[in-house]
Chain A
């Protein structure tokens, strides 16, 4: 069965792009427009992985991740991983990766595959 991924980003073009890339590589993709939308959808779609932007309007991301403990999360952000670590965002066990934007398409595919095959 195809693995499910929830893409959370406030920018429609990024949602669209990531969705296309993942779908063409055989994943089932749902999207959410911000942290609140993500929390609303997450237990309906039960994704195997959440790709989560760090800077979004609405509920801060650190609040969002605190409420999701049993699903793998990978951040996608323009800020650097060192900055994200400083904000204490990478402490939870279910946070598995960090994609630096702008990301490389084949790198994204490789790493997502790796995460979901573990």
Chain B
């Protein structure tokens, strides 16, 4: 019985109730109109003769009063009805915004007993399953970092006895070696060293990902740090007769981990030496900016195409597949640099034109960041960039943008210049107006020069970024 009562009550109070209210509103609008119509007829033509001069205005007044009352009534009912609909919808909207921000604990408690309540329940279920997925994703992510860290440690421990025994063999602890044996041992040692370097870099990556990178901050004169590292690298540069030129403006003493700065600088200079021709030069500079120190390393090597300029900071990314064999290295150096620099809220980027060499920049903040945040290393920035590009395509070209994007992607034509060419073709075919073409290019340019913009904006040198190319 109770259940039945409840359902009847619900039935009366809710679903039908709202629909009835709509009916009332319609009646409340129609009724005054009918009233006005009759009032009009009465006041103009049909005042019967038997009504006195007093009665006729009274009749008019009553009619007016009725109309006003009904109108007020309709207004009040309308207000409450619209509020009863808009309030839960606003709640839903706010909750959706929270989910968008990554808060999956949002739950709605809407008891309107109608479609909106059903929608809210569906929202709750969806958010709950999203939250579960997010928790799972985090777990997998942690497991990946943990796995990387453990395997790297486990891989490293056999290296110690292995290298020790190999060196003993090489140093003829166990008797003289023939020429062939010596060669063989040398090759094994070289590759054991290479393997060990990869493992060390892996460990570093796992530390960066897990925010376990160690920084030992101390008051440092970076000028000295840079000079030391340049002196150290000069030995390697001499092999190719490359000149290292240092140009440091006066730097303040700051609190920083000098070993980490050296590590980044060593990696970048090492790269510059690798990709420089013989008898060329490399310029190393550092200057004080507003709240950071900007270091740069300029080489006159082969340079980089624009699509490679971001990707070189991805783990294992090599511009040509053959270059690793030619130039050696683990392919993790620049990724580790990015991890170290970004752990300190700094930026690292490269400016280059093919054939004209590269300038690598990185920033060292004046105030050290003690609370290290995890940095995603194994998620490539390429994905992030593609996501940004597809968003721009959608905004400018609508749903068609996704199709166009996929087509460009399949042609591997998502470099800055490729997209610029594509936009030009759109303007030529009058698919885009010249203005929106320029706007489109500016936005794409911003995506590619994103990091550069942030810093240049601080220096008020806006005119020379976002690509002069984009504005031509």
Q: What residues of chain A have their CB less than 8 Å away from a CB belonging to chain B?
A: 11, 13-14, 16-18, 20-21, 24, 78, 80, 82-83, 86, 101-106
Contact = CB atoms under 8 A, between A and B. Distances in A.
A72 B311 CA distance: 50
B425 interface: no
B167 interface: yes
B164 A106 contact: no
Contact of A102 (B153, B159, B168): B159
A102 B166 CA distance: 12
Interface of B: 153, 156-165, 167-168, 171, 173, 196, 214, 216, 259
A18 B164 contact: yes
A17 B157 contact: no
Nearest to A99: B160
B173 A102 contact: no
A17 B171 contact: no
Contacts of B163: 102-103
17 contacts: A14-B161, A17-B161, A17-B164, A17-B165, A24-B168, A78-B160, A82-B259, A83-B214, A102-B160, A102-B162, A102-B164, A103-B160, A103-B164, A104-B167, A105-B168, A106-B167, A106-B171
Given A82-B214, A106-B167, A21 B173 contact: yes
A20 B173 contact: yes
Contacts of B165: 17
A103 B156 CA distance: 12
B216 A16 contact: no
A61 B331 CA distance: 36
Contact of B216 (A11, A20, A82, A106): A82
Nearest to A16: B161
Contacts of A106: 167, 171
Nearest to A104: B167
Given A21-B173, A78-B157, A102-B162, 20 more contacts: A11-B161, A13-B158, A13-B161, A14-B164, A17-B160, A21-B168, A24-B168, A24-B173, A78-B156, A83-B214, A101-B156, A101-B160, A102-B159, A102-B196, A103-B160, A103-B164, A105-B164, A105-B167, A105-B171, A106-B171
